[in-house]
Structure 1
Amino acid sequence: MSEIAVVAISIAKPGYEEQLRAALEGIVAPSRADRGALQYDLHRDLREPRRFVFYERWESEDALAGHAQSAHIAAYRQAVADWIEHSEIRVLRKIA
């Protein structure tokens, strides 16, 4: 299997920006320690401060699946369920 990239976008509901930011920052270290993690970087949109974007690189789709099923991601999803207006995840394979 070959390396994949992920772009994950979360938009906070108005008034929940800082709670979501803290929760997102809290999953960075454990996610970087997940098997197969090559890069796991959190960004905040300069023009839309409610929008947070992860850029991730994983050794394989299996590594990403393991991350998605990890305890820290499950806990994160439960904690932020009421704080997110919209989320989107794109799984990408480099072609050039």
Structure 2
Amino acid sequence: MAEIAVVAISVAKPGCDEQLRVTLEGIVGPTRNEAGVLQYDLHRDVQEPRRFVFVERWESQEALAAHAKSAHIQAYRKAVADWVEHAEIRVVSKIA
């Protein structure tokens, strides 16, 4: 198994940052209970508070794929569709 990391960024539309924050915080607990999760931490950008950043580590690509299909992530995606201005997900592997 090759460990992978994810940096997931969501930028809230103006006026939607608190709704997005609460919803993002709500998926932390269920995700931390998933098989294969090593780290799942939510951050808020100090200079741009509408920007939220997840720093994640997973045991494998398969564990990440299962996470993406989980019920709480599917529900999250539907809930925030109108609140997110921009989203970006980068899957990376550690090289040093």
1:12 aligned partner = 12
- For residue 21 of structure 1, what is the amino acid of its counterpart? R
2:64 aligned partner = 64
Q: Which runs of 5+ in 2 are unaligned?
A: none
Query: TM-score, structure 1 length as denominator?
Result: 0.99
2:23 aligned partner = 23
Could you give the per-residue CA deviations for residues 47-90 of structure 1, whole angstroms, max 9, x where no partner exists? Answer: 00000000000000000000000000000000000000000000
- For residue 4 of structure 2, what is the amino acid of its counterpart? I
Q: Which runs of 4+ in 1 moved over 4 A?
A: none
* Alpha-carbon distance in structure 2 between the residues aligned to 1:26 and 1:60: 24
2:43 aligned partner = 43
Could you give the per-residue CA deviations for residues 7-62 of structure 1, whole angstroms, max 9, x where no partner exists? Answer: 00000000000000000000000000111000000000000000000000000000
State percent identity of aligned pairs: 74
What is the RMSD of the two structures over their aligned residues, measured on CA atoms? 0.4
Matches within 5 A, 1:69-84: 69-84=69-84
* Alpha-carbon distance in structure 1 between the residues aligned to 2:44 and 2:79: 20
Secondary structure of residue in 2 paired with 1:19: helix
Query: TM-score, structure 2 length as denominator?
Result: 0.99
